Amino acid sequence: MKTDYRIGVLGSGFIVSECHLVSYQKLGYNPVAIASRTKANAEKAAQRFGIETVYDDYQALLDDASLEVLDIAVPPQQQPDLIRAACKRGTAKAILAQKPLALELAEARELVEVCEQAGILLAVNQNMRHDPSVKVCKALLDSGEMGEPVFATIDMRGIPHWQPWQEEIGGASLKIMSIHHLDCMRFWFGDPERLFCSMRPDPRTTFPHEDGICTYVLEYASGLRAVIIDDVWTGPAREGCPGDLRIEWRVEGLEGMAIGDIGWCKDPYTSPSSIRHATKGDEDFKRPTLEGSWFPDAFGGTMGDVFSALDTGEPCALSARDNLGTLALIEAAQRSVREHRAVSFSEI
């Protein structure tokens, strides 16, 4: 796979400096230009990672016709205009956008169509798919080793680092954390028939929001049931109570099961992920050694998906058109909360 595509990075916050660029450096990727709302921050990142060009603003970077891939890592309310601006120029081969692609499904659909019309590959950085434990589970499911899936859970007891821009959009968990877990269920099992969501505000989060602690039930035509618990309160762990911070997932099938632990919300945040799995007749769980962690290693995987699609001409594993299904689940969750009912996927 070609790995020296010329990458232009838009943004220089934590996710760029501690995840994107760290992972790209490990893999020998080629970020050559960067721009940020605060040029001084872009200059720090450029110096740390050997990026040759720092632009004064985003527009100047977009004007650089030598850039082949745009890596956008800005707040979601700013991202759509940058994607549209890139499409008007029509010089980039691909865009790797952050999740959520847009704050509303209708705008996300428009962005997908604009990029397709411009001939630009648009992918969404749903990086949980590249957590090593999540990928192994996907391989086990695809191989049929666990048999028909019966029940699956993702249970997060963690305290995310909310960003200042979240107050502007009036949201906490749904479009920032839960979107990963909903997308992960789609990655493993496809689209559900219907979804039920219940949520309440997080007592610790001071800006107005309703999506603090969130619980989701996904119902599949096969009979599979999937449950997601996103508990960003976890008791007063930050206020002096002993805490139990973790993200665990569990998939149970007719022939076997797998249990994973994702090290993201632990200290340090780069703690490695782990998995154990077994099938009928095993005397104990198999515990394969995994390489890497969700943060920062998965971010190299998402960019690698873009490179692979550019090389082969095959659809990107993280294509924005497929990601519309994840945003549809977000909209279904919002409707479920408003109307206090399960919402069919087909309604969205």
Q: How confident is the model at residue 216 (pLDDT cuts 50, 70, 90)?
A: very high
Distance CA 178, CA 90 (A): 33
Q: Residues with Cβ < 8 Å from 312, sequence gap 6 or more?
A: none
Q: Angle of helix 105-118 relative to helix 320-339, nearest 10 degrees?
A: 170
Q: How confident is the model at residue 269 (pLDDT cuts 50, 70, 90)?
A: low
Contact 277, 146 (CB under 8 A): yes
Distances (CA, A) of 15 to 26, 191, 209, 348: 16, 28, 23, 31
Mean pLDDT for the stretch of residues 163-176: 95
Asked if pLDDT for residue 267 goes beyond 80, the answer is: no
Contact 111, 89 (CB under 8 A): no
Distance CA 110, CA 93 (A): 19
**pTM beyond 0.95, yes or no:** yes
Distance CA 183, CA 181 (A): 5
pLDDT digit string, tens, across residues 324-342: 999 999 999 999 999 999 9
Mean pLDDT for the stretch of residues 38-42: 97
Full set of structural domains in the chain with CATH = 6-124+297-317 (3.40.50.720), 128-286+328-347 (3.30.360.10)
Q: How confident is the model at residue 161 (pLDDT cuts 50, 70, 90)?
A: confident
Tokens of 274: 């782990």
Mean of pLDDT over the chain: 96
pLDDT digit string, tens, across residues 227-263: 999 999 999 999 999 989 999 999 999 999 999 999 8
Asked if pLDDT for residue 81 goes beyond 70, the answer is: yes
Report the SS3 class of residue 56. Answer: coil
CA dihedral 138, 122, 329, 185 (to 10 degrees): 10
